[in-house]
Amino acid sequence: MNLHLEKGKGKREKGKVKITGSKSETNRLLLLQALYPNLTLENTSNSDDSEVMSRALNSQLTIHNSQLIDVHHAGTAMRFLTSFFAIQEGKEVVLTGSSRMKERPIKILVDALNQLGAEISYEENEGFPPIKIKGKKLTQSKVSLPANVSSQYISALLLIAPKLKNGLELTLEGEITSIPYIKMTLALLNEIGVTTSFVGNKISVKSQFTIHNSQFTIESDWSSASYWYSIVALSEIGFQVTLSSYKENSLQGDSALVNIYQDFGVETTFNTDNSITISKERIHNSQLTTHNSQLNNSPDIAQTIAVTCFGLGIGCDLTGLHTLKIKETDRLEALKTELTKLGAEISVTNDSLHLKPNDLFKSGNSHPLEGCPKGGVATYQDHRMAMAFAPLALKVPVIINNAEVVSKSYPDFWNDLALVGIIGSEVN
C-alpha cells in the first residue's frame, strides 16, 4: 500500500491520541510472564513485534519434539526468544525470520549462552539466524560480552537470569551503549522482586524461582510519541496534541524527546491523568542553524529528528548511531538515500549523520520536494522510515511507499494522523 499524505483543509489546534504500551517494556514483560505465570499485564503493545513475541511464548506450552518459530522482522523477539528457549529443558526449536533477519548478527548472544551451558547451533550461516536451540538447564553463572553491542543481547541474558540456578554475573567489556534499555530491564526485574546490581561494568542478577502476584500497567511507547513531537514541531504555533499514558520518570531512553524537542519550539506538560500535552510554543531559535544530539541511549529517534530538522530547514549532527546499521535496514544509508532524493545535503558514517541547513521550505517556494510526489519515500520494510517521513505532509504532500510496515510497532498510526488533520489516501 502506497499512501498519499497531505495536510487537510481547516484550522488545526489540538488533538488527543491514545498510544498503546511500550513495545520495549511489553516484550520484556511478556518473557517474564512466561517465566512467572502469575504476572498480569495491562496496556500491552498491539505491535506486530509484541504479537510475534506473545505467540512464540504461548507455543512453548505445546512443544513436544521440534518446532519452527518464525519471528519475521522482529529483532527483539529473535534475541529474547533465543535466551528463553535456551532454558526450556527438553524442548527443541528452530528460530528463523525474514531474509533481513537472516542478515542480522546473533553470534555474540549465542556465544554467551553457549558459555553458560546452552546448546545452540546455526542452520545456515555461522553467526546468523536461523538457529537450532535445544533447551537445557544452564549451570554456569559467569559470562562476558562486548559492551558496545545492541542492548537487546544484554537484556536477553538478564531476563532469564533469575531462573538460572546460580543467577548471573555479567561483565561488559568496553564502553557501554544504550544504558537506559539495560536499566529498564533491571528495573522491571526489581519490580517483581528480583535482586540486581549494576556497578561499573558488572551486572549481577540473583536467582528467583517464584514471585508474589504482581500486576503491571505498561507505559505507552516513547518511540511512537516521537512522530507526534515531529508533527508538533512542524506545525504552526499554538498547535498541541495530548498523548496517553506517560510517566515523567520514564524507564524508556526515548523520553529524551522532552528535552531534545525544546530546540524546535516544542514544550511538554505532564498531566495528572498520566497523559502528556506537547505544544508548539514558539518558532525554533533563529540562532540555531544546526541541532546536535548524542543518541547512544536513544538511537531509535534518530530518523525522526533528522526529518524534523530537514522540515524546519535546519541542519543536524547526530552521533552514537552505530546500532542503526543492523536494524530492519541500514537506517543511516536509508536516511541518506531518501533525504538526498528530497533535496537534502547529507552525509553519514558508521555511527553518525550530518545534515546541512536548507531553504527548501522558505515562504514562496512551491513544491520543494519534487522527488517525493513522483517516486514516494521508500521505507525499506522499516516501520520507522515510514513514520519518520510522514510529518513532512504538513509542509508538502508526500507519498509513503509500503505504508503498511507501520504495523510492526504502531498499527494505528495512519488512523491517528487523520485525527489531527493529516489525510491519507491510497495510490497506485
User: Does 107 count as an annotated binding residue?
Assistant: no
- In this structure, how many other beta carbons lie within 10 angstroms of the beta carbon of residue 101? 22
Helix ranges, 36-100 (H): 48-59, 75-86
Is 317 annotated for ligand binding? no
**Is 282 annotated as a binding-site member?**
no
Distance CA 166, CA 208 (A): 10
Instruction: List Cβ neighbours of 120 (8 Å cut-off, separation of 6 or more).
Output: 82, 86, 110, 113, 114, 131, 132, 133, 134
Given a contact cutoff of 8 angstroms between Cβ atoms, the answer to whether 291 and 319 are in contact is no
CA dihedral (277, 384, 32, 152) in degrees, to 10, reads -120
Cα(23)–Cα(219) distance, rounded to whole angstroms?
9
Cα separation values, 201 from 64, 141, 177, 350, 427, Å? 40, 16, 11, 24, 52
Cell numbers representing residue 327 in the block: 536494524
Known binding residue 167? Answer is no
How far apart, in whole angstroms, are the C-alpha atoms of residue 78 and residue 72?
A: 9
> Is 23 labelled a binding residue?
yes
The answer to whether 331 is annotated as binding is: yes
Grid cell, residue 339, equals 533525504
Active site residues: 300
Please return the burial class of 398, using the count of CB atoms within 10 Å of its CB with bins 0-12, 13-18 and 19+.
buried
What letters, b where the CB count within 10 A reaches 16 and e where it falls short, cover 163-191?
bbeebbbbebeeebbbebbbebbbebbee
Is 28 a known ligand-binding residue? yes
* Separation between Cα atoms, residue 389 and residue 317, nearest integer Å: 18
Q: Was 104 annotated as part of a binding site?
A: yes
Q: Is 47 annotated as a binding residue?
A: no
Residue 79 C-alpha from the chain's centroid? 14
Residue 320 annotated in ligand binding: no
- The answer to whether the annotation marks 300 as part of a ligand binding site is yes
CB proximity list for 85: less than 8 A, separation 6 or greater: 60, 91, 93, 95, 133, 135
Cα(379)–Cα(117) distance, integer angstroms: 40
Q: Confirm or deny that 66 is annotated as ligand binding.
A: no
Q: Which amino acids are annotated as binding site for phosphoenolpyruvate, given as ranges?
A: 23, 75, 104, 152, 331, 384, 408
Q: Which amino acids are annotated as binding site, given as ranges?
A: 23-24, 28, 75, 104, 150-152, 178, 300, 327, 331, 384, 408
Q: Which amino acids are annotated as binding site for 3-phosphoshikimate, given as ranges?
A: 23-24, 28, 150-152, 178, 300, 327
